[in-house]
């Protein structure tokens, strides 16, 4: 067919395109009398390797990896342990591959990673039921040195019930600010929940002791999840992006306050 097309005036490569063959394939066919297998690496995609593990061997790998003696070990320790017993089932890479395909390679150590669940959803139907607080940085004229704004917000009314600026982060400062706000708002024995992130001042012994003394229930965000404390975070951005917020860095605490 190619010869007839060329004799009729067609270009050779165009005729090959019509029959969906490359010129190189046709040349190999004319030279060897048959189409030889494609030796390129890309052509091996989709082929089944001759040394592919059988279903029985794959099952044996999974069963071995889940034995009590090996359940907490990675393949890099399983294979040498089997070798000490005079057994060889498969290579480390095969163990890793089979475990990964069966989603058993996430964590095989004895020490489990920390799990952080989403905090319980809280709803405020009136003022002084749910407060949110956080700390934000205020830049100073000294590079790398910051002042810290402690701010407590009532989630229902958005009222700022307490704030102060200090030169350092401290659970002692946080406890004093909260205690003053608690007295100023006249909370008394009312049920109050205080939500915050996982910073060290929020979980400091002084702060938690003050909350326990006043009968306030603490609530915490997940680590590195700012969406769990959105009201404080959004208020800080509103404050810092207002047109009248000072563009110049603060010289001292009095100016920042």
Q: What's the pLDDT tens digit per position in 32-66? A: 776 666 666 655 666 677 788 888 999 999 999 99
pLDDT of residue 35: 60
- pTM passes above 0.75: no
**In this structure, are 235 and 201 located in the same domain?**
yes
Residue 16 · residue 6 · CB < 8 Å: no
Tell me, yes or no, whether 122 lies in a domain.
no
Which candidate, 207, 159, 161, 163, places its Cα nearest to that of 184? Answer: 161
Mean pLDDT taken over the chain: 88
- pLDDT over threshold 70, residue 251: yes
Tell me, yes or no, whether 109 lies in a domain.
no
Residue 153: which pLDDT band, with cuts at 50, 70 and 90? very high
Residue with tokens 């946080």: 174
The conformational region for residue 79 under phi > 0 = left, psi -120 to 50 = alpha, else beta, is alpha
Range of the domain at 62: 55-101
Bridge partners of 150, per DSSP, are 135, 164
The domain total for the chain is: 3
pLDDT of residue 238: 93
- pLDDT over threshold 70, residue 170: yes
**In this structure, are 89 and 140 located in the same domain?**
no
**In this structure, are 165 and 206 located in the same domain?**
yes
Q: What's the pLDDT tens digit per position in 126-142? A: 999 999 999 999 999 99
pLDDT of residue 233: 92
**In this structure, are 147 and 252 located in the same domain?**
yes
Bridge partners of 132, per DSSP, are 153, 195
Residue 116: which pLDDT band, with cuts at 50, 70 and 90? low
Length of the chain measured in residues: 257
Residue 112: which pLDDT band, with cuts at 50, 70 and 90? low
Which candidate, 68, 70, 61, places its Cα nearest to that of 88? Answer: 61
- pLDDT over threshold 80, residue 91: yes
**In this structure, are 39 and 62 located in the same domain?**
no
E strand or H helix at 207: helix 205-214
Q: What's the CATH code of the domain at 169?
A: 3.30.420.10
pLDDT of residue 109: 64
- pLDDT over threshold 70, residue 196: yes
Residue 74 · residue 104 · CB < 8 Å: no
Bridge partners of 160, per DSSP, are 153
């Amino acid at each position: 067919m190619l010869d007839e097309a060329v004799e009729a005036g067609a270009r050779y490569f165009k005729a090959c395109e019509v029959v969906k063959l490359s010129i190189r394939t046709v040349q190999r066919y004319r030279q060897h009398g048959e189409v030889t297998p494609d030796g390129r690496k890309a052509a091996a995609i989709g082929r089944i390797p001759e040394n592919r593990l059988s279903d029985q061997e794959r099952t044996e790998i999974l069963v071995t990896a889940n034995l009590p003696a090996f359940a907490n070990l990675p393949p890099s320790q399983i294979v040498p342990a089997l070798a000490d017993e005079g057994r060889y089932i498969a290579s480390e890479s095969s163990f890793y591959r089979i475990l990964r395909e069966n989603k058993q390679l996430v964590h095989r150590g004895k020490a489990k990673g920390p799990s952080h669940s989403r905090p319980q959803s809280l709803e405020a139907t009136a003022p002084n039921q749910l407060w949110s607080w956080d700390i934000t940085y205020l830049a100073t004229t000294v590079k790398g040195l910051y002042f810290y704004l402690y701010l407590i917000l009532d989630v229902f009314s958005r009222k700022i019930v307490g704030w102060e600026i200090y030169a350092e982060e401290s659970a002692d400062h946080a406890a004093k600010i909260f205690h003053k706000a608690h007295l100023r708002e006249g909370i008394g024995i009312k049920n109050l929940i205080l939500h915050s992130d996982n910073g060290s001042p929020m979980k400091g012994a002084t702060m938690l002791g003050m909350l326990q003394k006043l009968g306030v229930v603490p609530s915490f965000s997940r680590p590195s999840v700012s969406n769990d404390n959105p009201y404080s975070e959004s208020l800080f951005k509103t404050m810092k992006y207002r047109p009248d917020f000072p563009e110049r860095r603060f010289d001292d605490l009095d100016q920042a306050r």
